[in-house]
């Protein structure tokens, strides 16, 4: 049995409109709260099969939580290194899974450097987004959606480091959907993919400024950028206010709380930032929500209001 579950695929009447069906792949319902367990669970199982006896990861939240969950299920110890910006809730969730938690550095790349230094011959390092094993596992999301529903002619998803994007492209290609477009949504303060596409090369952002901390990668992985050259990937930007508003509406409409990183993809559909006029059936990846609470969503919205 894989470590992830088969999540529901439902049609959203609130996001749909005449001539357009919107299908939601509810990855926020995974046991650790996000799609990450698909790829990370797959990678952890592979590493355990070849004799690795410990897992180490660096994460701002969801990936570390997925590694901690996988380690507990497989009976192997886990160390997760998080940056100082990781929320108290995310830290508590990781520790609740039995992992050793270390806090290091002002940003993810500093936490990642420490995590890499902890790796030895018996230890597997789990990157949060840049690993072919992860992409292979994430691709199962597309396999499932095609089994569950009537099909789709476009995909909408959020992009941070590019692991989900890379996995979805792999899933589309292995299901002979090479021409299916992907709307790749970022918030304006974490637009590493958009800026890279504009520049024609992979760009490293000088700084990150967004409430969608799960998207806070200063640079997308090489695979994600390379795929923009060979697949129909359409970058989309939304602002933080739109992402937060989408989270609240989604809670009202579907009774599921998601985090701002997921709200970005939802906002692209509800607010029209993604031009879906040419499509009849769209798959939206509801990527996760474990690290959010309604209080944090509303506090972030209030803080943005105070800046106006």
Contact 118, 79 (CB under 8 A): yes
Nearest CA-CA partner of 156 in 32, 89, 246, 58: 246
3-state class of 5 per DSSP?
coil
Q: What pLDDT shows up at residue 197?
A: 98
Average pLDDT, the chain: 96
Nearest CA-CA partner of 167 in 231, 257, 81: 231
- 177 pLDDT band, cuts 50/70/90, is very high
Task: With a cut of 70, say whether residue 189 has pLDDT above it.
Answer: yes
H/E run at residue 262: helix 260-270
- 221 pLDDT band, cuts 50/70/90, is very high
Helix axes 36-49, 163-174, angle to 10 degrees: 80
Per cent of the chain over pLDDT 70 is 99
Task: Dump pLDDT digits (tens) for 231-267.
Answer: 999 999 999 999 999 999 999 999 999 999 999 999 9
Contact 227, 165 (CB under 8 A): yes
Task: Dump pLDDT digits (tens) for 68-117.
Answer: 999 999 999 999 999 988 889 999 999 999 999 999 998 888 999 999 99
Task: Dump pLDDT digits (tens) for 265-300.
Answer: 999 999 999 999 999 999 999 999 998 999 999 999
Task: Dump pLDDT digits (tens) for 48-75.
Answer: 999 999 999 998 789 999 999 999 999 9
Mean of pLDDT values over 141-149: 97
Contact 62, 34 (CB under 8 A): yes
Residues 6+ apart with CB under 8 A from 246: 263, 264, 266, 267, 270, 271
Mean of pLDDT values over 9-31: 97
Q: What pLDDT shows up at residue 308?
A: 60
- 133 pLDDT band, cuts 50/70/90, is very high
Which has the minimum average pLDDT: 35-44, 61-70, 100-109, 157-166? 100-109
Task: With a cut of 90, say whether residue 157 has pLDDT above it.
Answer: yes
Task: With a cut of 80, say whether residue 44 has pLDDT above it.
Answer: yes
Contact 40, 66 (CB under 8 A): yes
Q: What whole-number distance in Å separates Cα of residue 37 and Cα of residue 159? A: 16
For 113, other C-beta atoms within 10 Å of its C-beta total 13
Task: With a cut of 80, say whether residue 307 has pLDDT above it.
Answer: no
3-state class of 44 per DSSP?
helix
Task: With a cut of 80, say whether residue 301 has pLDDT above it.
Answer: yes
H/E run at residue 24: strand 21-26
Q: What pLDDT shows up at residue 107?
A: 81
Token output for 24 = 């939601």
């Amino acid at each position: 049995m894989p470590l992830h579950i088969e999540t529901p695929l439902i049609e959203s009447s609130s996001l749909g409109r005449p001539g357009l069906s919107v299908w939601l792949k509810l990855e926020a319902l995974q046991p650790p709260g996000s799609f990450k367990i698909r790829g990370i669970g797959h990678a952890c199982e592979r590493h355990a099969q070849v004799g690795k006896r410990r897992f180490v990861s660096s994460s701002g939240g969801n990936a570390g939580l997925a590694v901690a969950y996988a380690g507990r299920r497989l009976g192997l110890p886990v160390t997760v290194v998080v940056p100082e910006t990781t929320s108290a809730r995310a830290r508590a969730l990781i520790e609740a899974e039995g992992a050793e938690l270390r806090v290091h550095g002002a940003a993810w790349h500093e936490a990642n450097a420490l995590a890499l230094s902890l790796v030895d011959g018996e230890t597997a390092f789990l990157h949060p987004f840049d690993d072919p094993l992860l992409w292979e596992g994430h691709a199962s999301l597309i396999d499932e959606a095609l089994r569950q529903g009537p099909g789709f002619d476009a995909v909408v998803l959020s992009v941070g480091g590019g692991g989900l994007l890379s996995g979805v492209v792999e899933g589309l290609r292995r299901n002979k959907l090479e021409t299916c477009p992907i709307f790749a949504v970022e918030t304006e303060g974490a637009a590493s993919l958009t800026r890279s596409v504009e520049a024609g090369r992979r760009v490293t952002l000088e700084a990150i400024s967004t409430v969608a901390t799960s998207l806070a990668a200063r640079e997308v992985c090489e695979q994600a950028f390379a795929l923009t050259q060979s697949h129909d990937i359409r970058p989309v930007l939304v602002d933080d206010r739109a992402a937060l508003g989408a989270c609240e509406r989604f809670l009202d409409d579907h009774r599921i709380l998601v985090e701002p990183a997921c709200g970005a993809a939802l906002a692209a559909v509800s607010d029209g930032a993604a031009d879906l006029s040419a499509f009849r059936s769209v798959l939206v990846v509801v990527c996760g929500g474990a690290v959010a609470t309604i209080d944090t969503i509303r506090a972030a919205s209030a803080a943005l209001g105070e800046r106006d």
